[in-house]
Amino acid sequence: MSWTRNEMAARAAQELEDGFYVNLGIGIPTLVANHIPDGMSVTLQSENGMLGMGPFPIAGEEDADLINAGKQTITTLPKSSFFDSATSFAMIRGGHIDLSILGAMEVAENGDIANWMIPGKMVKGMGGAMDLVAGVKRCIALFDHTNKRGESKFIKACTLPLTGQNCIDMVITDLGVFERDKAHNQFRLQELAPKVTLDEVKAKTEADVIFE
Amino acid sequence: MSWTRNEMAARAAQELEDGFYVNLGIGIPTLVANHIPDGMSVTLQSENGMLGMGPFPIAGEEDADLINAGKQTITTLPKSSFFDSATSFAMIRGGHIDLSILGAMEVAENGDIANWMIPGKMVKGMGGAMDLVAGVKRCIALFDHTNKRGESKFIKACTLPLTGQNCIDMVITDLGVFERDKAHNQFRLQELAPKVTLDEVKAKTEADVIFE
Amino acid sequence: MSKVFSTAGEALGGLCHDGLTIMSGGFGLCGIPENLIAALRDSGASDLTVISNNAGVDGFGLGQLLETRQIKKMISSYVGENKEFERQYLGGELELEFNPQGTLAERIRAGGAGIPGFYTKTGVGTLIAEGKEHKDFEGETFILETGLKADIAIVKAWKGDAEGNLIFKATARNFSPMMAMAGQITVAEVDEIVPVGALDPNFIHTPGIFVQRIVEAKCEKRIEQLTVREA
Amino acid sequence: MSKVFSTAGEALGGLCHDGLTIMSGGFGLCGIPENLIAALRDSGASDLTVISNNAGVDGFGLGQLLETRQIKKMISSYVGENKEFERQYLGGELELEFNPQGTLAERIRAGGAGIPGFYTKTGVGTLIAEGKEHKDFEGETFILETGLKADIAIVKAWKGDAEGNLIFKATARNFSPMMAMAGQITVAEVDEIVPVGALDPNFIHTPGIFVQRIVEAKCEKRIEQLTVREA
């Protein structure tokens, strides 16, 4: 059985460490916040200008002046701080954020990622994604291994316009976990989802990955 | 009679306008603050991180955490704000300060100024002077027309290392006032101190200045 | 020479002309200068270049200026919430320049701080880097981005005083402090104008030097994604 | 993994080595991390490059590290208050790099913000511009300045909490917020550690992400130029 979205998020949460400052992208990455281990102190950054993002508010307690980067209403925690966008991206670009977990349309075997634009379709914009992949210390891409047509999204070279080059350190899909091996400059299969076979993941992976 | 230091400061204060944000250098320029016309709102910036500098404190009310760029104890005003050095010099470099009044060792006829370094002597540093002359909208140099040996300090070309080039808009000395004529790119005598003769100021000015 | 105006329309009085470059604060609909945007629409000024992280939604925020075709070009990082924007853009009626969000924020700060250009690694190897100068620092490649300025910056703050000192609330701060620095003329609308001296000088986000005009105005403050949890 | 330490010496524990680059906050003696400077002296680490706007006075502040010859090089904008500094510099025992004050502040901010270089007009046509890349933007000439980082940044704040959030008082803020960003490890000494949640999130000057260690310590706070007026 491949992992569900929630299981993928739970697996990604295992990459968190105590004291980490983390930026979570929109979509599946947002779910990672639900799996932070008890007793572990992880501070979530929202790139619109907040550290220490709290949970969604109880109905009636929402504040239009307090949203996350997905424009959802949120709350503060005792440790929270607010700042302007220049300071927020100084944190990101300056390498102060320990971990970014973000979605992807394609990830290439060299660590390139594409997740912002499909030529011919209306382009909404990259938002903060290019800053995050370029600046954050460690980037994990969290995405379904194949697209709706069954084609691999973990490929030899990105076909879509890049969000960043050579910046993804780990890939987590519904089929397994792939860690970038710095020495070989290549991804290596680290873990398979339950009941997913090596043959299946090999068949669905276009990227040249170390499987042994 | 040439102007005293205090009269020079008073004359410089005539260049202030209502609503101006002003940075005053150390020495004679500091005295300008004593001559701000009643009813005129002028906000003094201190480049160590303050707008709305108030007067010196009453003895016993000094605060070691509240000083000006000359390291003197000062006070706040109701309109005051504090900020960091990067923001302070964003104001200066970004052209937000209307007027800077500063001392000079030499000013040249092309608007160059030297006021930070004498080769062979111990150099204390330029502090914020280079930023001020490069960034502030209008710069007035306030200095004695001649040095102790009677030599002109308003000269053809600076002999000392520059603080900034082509940046002085007005010269006020103990002998008179010289406004930079933008059209001719040349200083023009605008006003003589009482009982100072045209011949005297001509004799003491090495710079090629328009006197008529 | 008071900085205080009675209405948003008066606060923009004499400033609005065709062809201006306008910066408008806010992230999504959070912290947008609602009343000044509406006043800008009412001014009729057109052929505007608007620098703003987003483009509002249909009929609200900058969406109002899109409906009236007053905007010629947007410089933004994300414009996904606006159908009219999409229609005009796909129809070739609207120019669009995308900037990575952090690059946009830093370009605006740079413009206000007298910095005409800076190097960043954001966007290296992407479409964003095309045509831009590349330069290596300590073996890594960066691209040159330029400072951005505006004829007018319009921002929304929480409280302000007659000196133009501003404080912002929560994440409504976002781009506004930098835009206030980068506007030739900066106009602020605030929830509340307080007496000079009421704001603690240690905690002023935008010193008055960056604000030329200020108006107290009531904001609707729409929420784009109301998201709640079980009590 | 607590950020809170009991003494300045413990707060620097394990960090001090010969040859480090250290940023030290303060303007004159205002806002200097007195206790951390003393602890750095006690560590005996030498061959230090120190980035600080000033160099303290004889026997106090960074003057303490000059007396013990622990400083190899200073990067500053003004060093006029220190005879021992002058003696070592004129004797060729101390390297010195002058930066215009605003350039120094911006270089430190840039280092912390991931910006390896930026252009400024400050210093064009002066000794400061020699050997630096010149570039024209819109007909005006600017010089390239580079970002500065440090192995350790030591700063003094007013209040802080266990998360590392800091607020500063009055003009004691000066260079410290940027240095906190530019230090690989930033250590803050504060007048008072307050409980997490006691600082208003709207008014935190330095978010905790920039501060790795924090210690409460009493400062002497010497005044360099006591200047008063008649009551």
Q: For the residues of C5-36, what is the DSSP string, one character each? A: ESSHHHHTTTT--TT-EEEE--BTTBT--HHH
Q: What average pLDDT does range B175-203 have in this prediction?
A: 94
Per-block mean pLDDT, blocks of 10 residues, chain C (231 long): 95 98 98 98 98 95 96 95 88 95 98 98 98 98 98 98 98 98 98 98 98 97 93 77
Half-sphere CA count of B191, side-chain side, radius 13 A: 15
Chain C interface residues (partner B, CB cutoff 8 A): 1, 109, 111-115, 161, 163, 165, 181, 196-197, 199, 201-202, 204, 207-210
> Which of D132, D167, D171, D221 to mutate: most B Cβ within 10 Å?
D171
CA C134 – CA C120 distance, rounded (Å): 10
More confidently predicted of A120 and B74: B74
CA D214 – CA D157 distance, rounded (Å): 10
For residue B62, list chain D residues with Cβ-Cβ distance below 8 A. Answer: 223, 226-228
Say what percent of chain D tops pLDDT 90. Answer: 94
- D200: nearest CA in chain A? A81
Tell me the pLDDT band of B212, cut-offs 50, 70 and 90.
confident
Tell me the pLDDT band of D162, cut-offs 50, 70 and 90.
very high
Q: What pLDDT was estimated at residue A198? A: 96
Q: What is the pLDDT of residues A146-196, one digit of tens each?
A: 999 999 999 999 999 999 999 999 999 999 999 998 777 899 999 999 999
DSSP secondary structure of C171-194? GG-TTHHHHHHHEEEEEEEEEEE-
Q: What pLDDT was estimated at residue C4? A: 98
CA distance C163 to chain D (A): 19
Strands C117-120 and C95-98: unpaired
Q: What pLDDT was estimated at residue B163? A: 98
Cβ contact (<8 Å) for D101 and B72? no
Tell me the pLDDT band of D90, cut-offs 50, 70 and 90.
confident
Q: What pLDDT was estimated at residue D134? A: 98
Residue whose tokens read 């740079």: C110
Q: What pLDDT was estimated at residue C90? A: 87
CA B160 – CA B117 distance, rounded (Å): 7
CA C102 – CA A133 distance, rounded (Å): 12
For residue B122, list chain D residues with Cβ-Cβ distance below 8 A. Answer: 86, 89-90
Fold of the domain built from segment(s) D17-98+149-216 = Glutaconate Coenzyme A-transferase (3.40.1080)
Answer whether residue D81 shows pLDDT above 90. Answer: no
Annotated domain spans of chain D = 17-98+149-216
**Domains assigned to chain B:** 5-203 (3.40.1080.10)
Q: Is A94 on the interface with D (CB under 8 A)?
A: yes
Answer whether residue D144 shows pLDDT above 80. Answer: yes
For residue A87, list chain D residues with Cβ-Cβ distance below 8 A. Answer: 207
Q: What pLDDT was estimated at residue A184? A: 77
**Which among D165, D204, D209 has the least Cβ separation from residue A91?**
D209
Task: Report how far Cα A60 is from the mean position of its chain's Cα atoms.
Answer: 31
Tell me the pLDDT band of A122, cut-offs 50, 70 and 90.
confident
Say what percent of chain D tops pLDDT 70. Answer: 100
Q: 3-class DSSP state for residue D98?
A: strand
Cβ contact (<8 Å) for B79 and C115? no
Tell me the pLDDT band of D231, cut-offs 50, 70 and 90.
confident
Mean pLDDT (chain A) is: 96
CA B41 – CA B20 distance, rounded (Å): 7
Neighbouring subunits of C (3+ Cβ pairs under 8 A): A, B, D
Q: What average pLDDT does range B31-60 have in this prediction?
A: 96
Q: What pLDDT was estimated at residue C230? A: 87
The active-site residue out of A15, A47, A106, A109 is A47
With CA atoms as reference, report the closest residue to C29 among C69, C75, C64: C64
Cβ contact (<8 Å) for C201 and D170? yes
Tell me the pLDDT band of B167, cut-offs 50, 70 and 90.
very high
Strands C134-137 and B176-181: unpaired
For residue C101, list chain A residues with Cβ-Cβ distance below 8 A. Answer: 47, 85, 89, 126-128, 131
CA D206 – CA D209 distance, rounded (Å): 8
Say what percent of chain A tops pLDDT 70. Answer: 100
Cβ contact (<8 Å) for D114 and A135? yes
Answer whether residue D82 shows pLDDT above 90. Answer: no
CA B92 – CA B22 distance, rounded (Å): 10
Answer whether residue B81 shows pLDDT above 90. Answer: yes
In the A/D pair of chains, how many CB contacts fall below 8 A? 61
Q: What pLDDT was estimated at residue B120? A: 84
Whether residue B47 lies in the annotated active site? yes
With CA atoms as reference, report the closest residue to C111 among B155, D88, D130, D118: D118
Cβ contact (<8 Å) for A78 and D115? no
Answer whether residue B184 shows pLDDT above 80. Answer: no
Answer whether residue B161 shows pLDDT above 80. Answer: yes
Q: 3-class DSSP state for residue C139?
A: coil
Mean pLDDT (chain D) is: 96
Q: What pLDDT was estimated at residue B121? A: 85
pTM of the model: 0.98
Q: What is the pLDDT of residues A4-43, one digit of tens each?
A: 999 999 999 999 999 999 999 998 999 999 999 999 999 9
With CA atoms as reference, report the closest residue to D78 among D107, D108, D99: D99
Q: Is B47 on the interface with D (CB under 8 A)?
A: yes
Cβ contact (<8 Å) for B87 and C207? yes
Q: 3-class DSSP state for residue A129?
A: helix
- B20-49 as b/e: b if 16+ CB within 10 A: bbbbbbeebbbbbbeeeeeeeebbbbbbbb
Tell me the pLDDT band of A121, cut-offs 50, 70 and 90.
confident
For residue A76, list chain D residues with Cβ-Cβ distance below 8 A. Answer: 201
